A and B are shown apart, each in its own frame.
Chain A
Amino acid sequence: MTIATDLGARPSRPLPFWPMVWAAALAAVMVLALLGDRFPALIDYPAAAVVPLTDWVSAIMAWLKANITWLTRSITAILGVPLDFALSLFAKNFKIGAGPEAIVLPRLSWVGIVVAAFLAGRAFGGWKLGALVGGCFLYIALFGKWTSAMLTLGLISIAVPFCIVTGLLIGIWAWRKPWAEKLIVSPSLDLMQTIPTFAYLIPMLILFGNSPVSAMIATAIFAMPPMVRATMLGLSRVPSEIGDFSEMAGCTARQKLWRVLLPSARPTLMVGVNQVIMLALNMVIIASMIGAGGLGYDVLLALRALKVGEAMEAGLAIVALAIALDRLSQAMARRQARGHVHGDAEAGPFWKRYPNLSLALVVLAATTIAGLFIPAFADVPKAITMTTAPAWKAGVSWITINLFDVIEAVRVALILYVLNPVRAFCEGFPWLGAVFLLGLAAFQLGGARLAILVAALTAYCAVTGLWEKTMATVYLVGISAFISCLIGIPIGLWASRSDRVEKIVTPIIDTLQVLPSFCFIIPVVMLFRVGDVTAMIATVAFAVVPAIRYTNHGLRQVPPALMEAAVVSGCTKRQTFFRVQLPLALPEIMLGINQTILMALSMIIICAMIGTRDLGQEVFIALSKADAGRGIVAGLAIAFIGIIADRLFGAWTAKARGKLG
């Protein structure tokens, strides 16, 4: 709060208005807290006045279940057709008929897919990319995760195009109709990105059934927003001259959009596509809980049996898949951005125009047919697979036996002197005071409308009877985000000043981002026991990524000319950094902090698996009790915390940007 005060006060220095307002406000809240002994309703929202939103949502769900299941089930059936096809093609074989006399057409051979992946990489990024992409697929095959990885890939291969098409259409609609963007699309995107997926798994199960299709829809809900945002951004960024020119050339509105504007926006759109792929891979574990199977299920199963090594291997297979798809789609984006070279590609027969594609098709067909006769082509032979699982297990055991006492001392100190006091402070914070203070901050940063939004969202958490759990969430997220920034910003700074450090840091944070948090949460429990410290460490490991990334990026993109100007005008190194580089990079760094908070919030659910007592646990309990209302109400509270943080930070960043001019 004090930081906000300083920053906001600066533009209006002559009037010490805001500091005085804040002093008065804090004093008022203090009085409120002291009065709490006599009027407990001021601290904890009175139970009698809780709005039974949970029951309402459950009632709506029951109605939906009875009345629109026929519709949702037909959607399942329709979407199931391409999905089944993809799953059969990659993983399951085609089966025509039933029982032992069924005719079976084999799935694609693993050899063929590895070669095709290599060729795709080569086509878009040369030998080096080809080797990387092919190598990732080979890695998956050699570590015995082939069938699971192909189930995951099959799901992704349908979910991603689905997200892209739907996202594109929604984005265009929102771009054309500003009212739709403001009233419908923007708020929905915010909710889709902040509501934990667990919260809507039960409605998914009820409406779309326990099948890969529900998993796909859940994945789509989570992964689509970047595509919509990229479409809106890309279209609005197309220079108006291009649009004008197309009109002059006599394009109809439709031609203008599809032939001119969208192709011009392609680089931004491809960034969206890349994000969709990454987010879809983030969902594989959760999708496996409602019928997707695949790598996510392998991770869950291995962890239930405490097979740390196997879980790690399955997790790394997800990372390999992510790296392959990420690099490939980025290379495609760059290729598209450079544009087509017309002429040479237009002439000649198909195989001459697309040599890589043709070769890939031939290899796929040949190896798949060969698989009918040579089993080694159909399934990865067990003899060539390997495992590193024992090494992982031995590593964790070694640390457990040798370092536990040191770790235990750190853990106890953290719990007793940091976590418990902060927790007590948060949980004792009066709800009325929080509504008031956050509203005031919003008013200072963004005006009356923001203030009303923030105060209303805060009040929601209290009115639904979730105040204590909300504050427990704020405590864990706040402290984890703070520590993430404490670690991440210096690392980002270091990386920005040395290319070598950046080269080392980048693959590590890429892995941290894609590796399912489940994989490392159990080893952390072995070292840090069940409790808040474990939850905090797991959260920090995930949330530190944007802090590093944005700091590095922000500092690096300061124009060199400005730095040179500073040096020329006689600044010391120190002055150049603190007076020029840092202020210019500040908006970007703040965006990183904002993202860190949102990432920490998204880990709340996963931390519920190690026994926290916050909103995440509430959603988790709702999931196992199949209580749709309870899950959605708590999920919304989590989403609102995220939206409040996002809006306040956004307003603050905008102010800081405005000051920079």
Chain B
Amino acid sequence: MSMSSRFSRVRRGALAIAAAAWCIGGVAQAAAPESNDPIKIALFDWTSVNLNAKILGGILEKLGYTVEYPTADYLSSLTTGLTNGDLAVAMEFWDTTAGEAMKASDATGQTENLGPLGPKAKEEWWYPLYMKDKCPGLPNWEALKDPKCAEAFSTPETAPNGRYVGGPVTWEGYDDERVVSLGLPFTVIHAGTDAAMFAELDSAYQRQAPIMLWVYSPHWAPAKYKGEWVQFPEYSAECYNDPKVGVNPDAKYDCGKPHGDIWKYAWGGMKEKWPVAHKVAKAYTIDTDVLNAMSGQIDLDGKAPEDVAAEWIAANEATWKKWAE
């Protein structure tokens, strides 16, 4: 638990203030924290964002700051908590799902985009490898146009169309449009949350049953289940905006989904209130493979995020010390 590890550390501090003093002397190379108010780093409801929050928080604590981790809602925090300082930093906003929300947030002028986190977000139609037997033309998207292939992905209520489980309607996926513009014989079913989406995947995978769904990375799913992304025509902004561009001259969205960055956001007032912490948050980046491996340790091996974060902080001291300078 987040609390327990932090507390046991603090409790020791209470018992032996001398030890705590040694701690400051050993670590803090920055000026003493500019403000003792807690820096609030948002926790959302998936693993990697909470891991990043705990790593940044751990670094800031080593620098002498007080850190709190309030729980918040992903998209709405951009236009609520982060605009007024209820939240100071949030670690992951994906180009692929939060594009509109980030625009709305930028428009308020009260938040600051801290730059990319590092890993690239990828998302696309995805199928388990065993489906390749039933639809040999994959991963090329044109294979899906074959009625036999689509039928392999169907359920009785969608037959003869294939069934594609898309993300929540708020995720800006444009799959309903894509199916029409590319002439795919598929019915799009919107899952309300990604938990529901991956529950379907888990169930189907156990039974080796047909499934086609929206999977994104970095996420534990592509690590846990063997499968591939469908290769659609490459995304371009024009393809989404201009009907003439792309495979179908009369329709928009006749290409794949965009790849994109994952962004960090901060409350606009953070820069003045905690300049050093702001500098660290801005410089903070993490490697995709490292992040995937650490997420796997939490989701698949059952480690606590705090412990994984502490290991990273201990192993990369030189890196984050440079961020604070």
Q: Could you list which residues of chain A lie within 8 angstroms of chain B, going by C-beta atoms? A: 69, 91-93, 95, 97-107, 147-148, 201-202, 205-206, 209-211, 288-293, 297, 300-301, 303-307, 372, 375, 378-379, 397, 400-401, 404, 408, 412, 415-416, 420, 521-523, 525-527, 529-531, 607-613, 617, 620-621, 623-626
Contact = CB atoms under 8 A, between A and B. Distances in A.
- SS class, residues of chain B in contact with chain A: helix
A384 B263 CA distance: 41
Given A525-B196, A609-B195, 18 more contacts: A91-B3, A98-B33, A99-B65, A202-B80, A209-B81, A211-B70, A300-B45, A305-B220, A306-B195, A306-B198, A372-B11, A526-B202, A530-B196, A609-B193, A610-B191, A621-B169, A624-B170, A625-B170
Contacts of B104: 626
A150 to B, nearest CB: 9
B147 interface: no
Residue from the set A100, A292, A530, A607 with the largest chain B CB neighbour count within 10 Å: A100
A607 B196 CA distance: 11
B190 interface: yes
B84 A100 contact: no
Contacts of A69: 84
B35 to A, nearest CB: 9
B87 A210 contact: yes
A206 B64 contact: no
Residue from the set B17, B45, B65, B168 with the largest chain A CB neighbour count within 10 Å: B45
A608 B191 CA distance: 9
B72 interface: yes
Interface of B: 1, 3-4, 7-8, 10-11, 13-15, 17, 20-21, 23-24, 32-33, 36-37, 42-43, 45-47, 50, 64-66, 70-81, 84, 86-87, 100-101, 104, 155-157, 165, 168-170, 189-200, 202-203, 206-207, 209, 220, 299
A294 to B, nearest CB: 9
Contacts of A105: 14
A617 B169 contact: yes
A97 B14 CA distance: 11
Contacts of B37: 98
A372 B15 contact: yes
B143 to A, nearest CB: 24
Contact of B71 (A104, A289, A306, A624): A289
B76 A626 contact: yes
Contact of A623 (B32, B42, B73, B209): B73
A157 B71 CA distance: 20
B207 A92 contact: no
A626 B8 contact: no
Contacts of A291: 70-72, 86
A523 B47 CA distance: 20
A99 B66 contact: yes
Nearest 4 A-B pairs (CB), nearest first? A98-B36, A626-B76, A210-B81, A526-B203
A412 B156 contact: yes
Contacts of A626: 75-76, 78-80, 101, 104
Contacts of A617: 169, 192
B196 A610 contact: yes
A205 B33 contact: no
Contacts of A412: 155-157
A106 B11 contact: yes
A595 to B, nearest CB: 26
Nearest to A215: B71
Contacts of B71: 288-293, 297
B192 A147 contact: no
A304 B200 contact: no
B197 A530 contact: yes
A205 B84 CA distance: 10
Contacts of A107: 7
A10 to B, nearest CB: 43
Residue from the set A288, A305, A620, A621 with the largest chain B CB neighbour count within 10 Å: A305
Residue from the set A69, A103, A523, A525 with the largest chain B CB neighbour count within 10 Å: A525
Contact of B11 (A99, A202, A378): A378
B86 A210 contact: yes
B74 A624 contact: yes
Nearest to B20: A100
B45 A301 contact: yes
A304 B194 contact: yes
A402 to B, nearest CB: 10
B165 A530 contact: yes
Contacts of B15: 372
A621 B195 CA distance: 16
A609 B195 CA distance: 9
Contacts of A303: 195
B73 A289 contact: yes
A626 B101 CA distance: 9
22 contacts: A99-B33, A99-B36, A99-B65, A100-B24, A202-B80, A205-B81, A289-B72, A289-B73, A304-B46, A305-B47, A307-B299, A378-B11, A400-B206, A408-B155, A522-B195, A608-B192, A610-B196, A612-B192, A621-B170, A624-B75, A624-B76, A624-B168
Given A98-B33, A206-B80, A620-B192, A525 B199 contact: yes
A397 B156 CA distance: 23
B4 A147 contact: yes
Given A209-B86, A375-B8, A101 B72 contact: no
Contact of B8 (A379, A415, A624): A379
A379 B4 contact: yes
Contacts of B45: 297, 300-301, 304
A416 B75 contact: no
Contacts of A304: 45-47, 194-195
A107 B100 CA distance: 43
Contacts of B195: 303-304, 306, 522, 609
A603 to B, nearest CB: 13
A413 B42 CA distance: 45
Contacts of B190: 530, 611, 613
Contacts of A104: 7, 10-11, 13-14
